[in-house]
C-alpha cells in the first residue's frame, strides 16, 4: 500500500529511504549465510547506548542437544540482584549474542538487573522446536542455579524482540504450566506470534516498510520443519488455548509492522485469561525500529521496556 495512505513518521521515512538506497539485495533472495552477514553489518552501528558493565561473562548451560552458549551481564557488583532473561530476534535464523550486545547492556543498566542472554540454536540448520527448547532449558537452568549467576532466586523477568518476543511468550506459557517461580513481567517487542501471514495487517503493510510479507515467509519457511508445525503453540503462541496463570505482559508494537495484528490479538487473549497487559503501539514506525537508536521512537521503546522491567522486579 502506498505511503500516502499510511502515516509514516518522518524519522522512519528517512531510515527506510536510507535502507532502500543502500543497494542491499532483498534478504529473502539470499542464502542463510549471506543473510546473516547482511544482518550483522546492519546492526553493527545501531546507535543503542552500550554502557560498561561490572561483569560480562560467557559460558555454557546444558541443553537438549548439547551446550547452550549464554552471556551474563552484571551492571554492578551487587549480588542477590533480580535478573532478566533475554531472547534475541532475527527471524529464528539470524543474529546472536554479538548483534544484541548493546541492547543487553542498556537493558541491564537501566533495569538495574543482571541479564542472561541466550544464544539458542538457529534455523535452518536447527529447525523448530530447537529454539524454544533451548530457551526453555536455559531459563529452567537459571531458575535452578541462582547462586551461579549471583542473583536472587525467583525474582526474574523475560524479554525478547521480534522472534525473541515469540520465544518469550512460549517460555512464559511453559513456566505457567510448570507451576514454579513465575516471571514478574514478560516483555515482547514487535513479536511474531503466529507462523501465518494471513492476518489483515499483512495485506495492509506487507510491502514497502522494510519488513515485508516475503521476508516473513522466508523466515517461516526456514524455521518450520513442516507446515503443520505452524499449529503448535510453541511455534505460534497466539494459538495457545490455555493462558491462565501466564505472567503479566508488556507488548510493544510498530504501527507499520505486518506482525501488529497478531500481537494485538495476543494482548486481547491474555487479558481475557485474566493476565495484566500493558500495550503500546508506535504508530508510523516499522518492524525493527528498536535498532535505530538515534531515533526518538527507539529511545522511548527501550526506556519503556527497561523501566517496566525495573518496576516489576522492584515490586
Can you list the domains of the chain with their CATH numbers?
24-274+297-314 (3.40.50.1820)
pLDDT, averaged across the chain: 95
Answer yes or no: 257 catalytic.
Answer: yes
**Confidence bin at 19 (pLDDT 50/70/90):** confident
The predicted model scores a pTM of: 0.96
Q: In what order do the strands lie in the sheet with 151-161?
A: 55-63, 66-74, 114-118, 81-87, 151-161, 186-189, 249-254, 277-282
- Look up 287 and say whether it is catalytic: yes
Over the stretch 26-75, which tens digit does the pLDDT of each residue have? 999 999 999 999 988 887 668 899 999 999 999 999 999 999 999 999 99
pLDDT band at 17 (very low <50, low <70, confident <90, very high): confident
User: Nearest Cα to 243, choosing from 267, 263, 269, 264?
Assistant: 269
Active-site residue 162, yes or no? yes
Phi, psi of 177 (to 5 degrees): -75, -30
> Is residue 119 scored above 50 in pLDDT?
yes
- Cα angle, residue 311 at apex, residues 109 and 183 outer, rounded to 5°: 95
Q: Is 242 left (phi over 0), alpha (psi -120 to 50) or beta?
A: beta
Q: In whole angstroms, give the CA distance from residue 165 to residue 149.
A: 23
Q: What is the pLDDT of residues 131-173, one digit of tens each?
A: 999 999 999 999 999 999 999 999 999 999 999 999 999 999 9
**Which one of the listed residues 101, 119, 257, 261 is annotated catalytic?**
257
Give the pLDDT band of residue 5 (cuts 50, 70, 90): low
Active-site option among 88, 100, 199, 287: 287
Digit-coded pLDDT (tens) for 255-310: 999 999 999 999 999 999 999 999 999 999 999 999 999 899 999 999 999 999 99
Query: Are β-strands 151-161 and 114-118 bridged in parallel, bridged antiparallel, or unpaired?
Result: unpaired
20 alpha-carbon distance from chain centroid: 24
3 pLDDT higher than 80: no
Residue among 102, 162, 163, 298 flagged as catalytic = 162
Q: Is the predicted pLDDT of residue 4 greater than 70, yes or no?
A: no
pLDDT over 90 at 87, yes or no: yes
Amino acid at each position: 500500500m502506498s505511503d500516502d495512505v499510511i502515516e509514516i513518521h518522518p524519522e522512519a521515512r528517512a531510515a527506510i529511504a536510507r535502507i532502500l538506497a543502500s543497494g542491499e539485495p532483498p534478504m529473502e533472495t539470499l542464502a542463510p549465510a549471506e543473510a546473516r552477514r547482511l544482518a550483522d553489518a546492519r546492526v553493527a552501528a545501531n546507535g543503542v547506548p552500550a554502557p560498561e558493565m561490572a561483569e560480562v561473562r560467557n559460558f555454557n548451560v546444558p541443553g537438549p542437544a548439547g551446550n547452550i552458549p549464554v552471556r551474563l551481564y552484571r551492571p554492578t557488583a551487587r549480588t542477590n540482584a533480580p535478573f532478566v532473561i533475554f531472547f534475541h530476534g532475527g527471524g529464528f535464523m539470524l543474529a546472536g549474542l554479538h548483534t544484541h550486545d548493546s541492547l543487553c547492556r542498556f537493558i541491564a543498566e537501566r533495569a538495574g538487573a543482571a541479564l542472561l542472554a541466550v544464544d539458542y540454536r538457529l534455523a535452518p540448520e536447527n529447525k523448530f522446536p530447537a529454539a524454544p527448547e533451548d530457551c526453555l532449558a536455559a531459563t529452567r537452568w537459571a531458575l535452578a542455579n541462582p547462586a551461579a549467576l549471583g542473583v536472587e532466586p525467583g525474582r526474574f523477568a523475560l524479554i525478547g524482540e521480534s522472534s525473541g518476543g515469540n520465544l518469550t511468550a512460549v517460555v512464559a506459557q511453559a513456566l505457567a504450566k510448570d507451576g514454579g517461580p513465575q516471571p514478574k513481567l514478560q516483555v515482547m517487542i514487535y513479536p511474531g506470534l503466529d507462523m501465518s501471514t494471513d492476518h489483515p495487517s499483512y495485506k495492509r503493510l506487507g510491502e514497502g516498510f522494510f519488513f515485508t510479507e516475503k521476508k516473513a515467509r522466508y523466515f517461516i519457511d526456514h524455521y518450520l520443519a513442516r507446515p503443520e508445525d505452524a499449529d503448535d503453540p510453541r511455534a505460534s503462541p497466539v494459538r495457545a488455548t490455555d493462558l491462565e496463570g501466564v505472567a503479566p505482559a508488556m507488548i510493544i508494537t510498530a504501527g507499520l509492522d505486518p506482525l501488529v495484528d497478531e500481537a494485538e490479538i495476543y494482548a486481547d487473549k491474555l487479558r481475557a485469561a485474566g493476565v495484566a497487559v500493558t500495550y503500546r503501539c508506535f504508530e508510523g514506525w516499522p518492524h525493527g525500529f528498536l535498532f535505530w537508536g538515534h531515533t526518538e521512537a527507539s529511545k522511548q521503546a527501550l526506556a519503556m521496556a527497561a523501566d517496566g522491567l525495573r518496576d516489576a522486579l522492584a515490586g
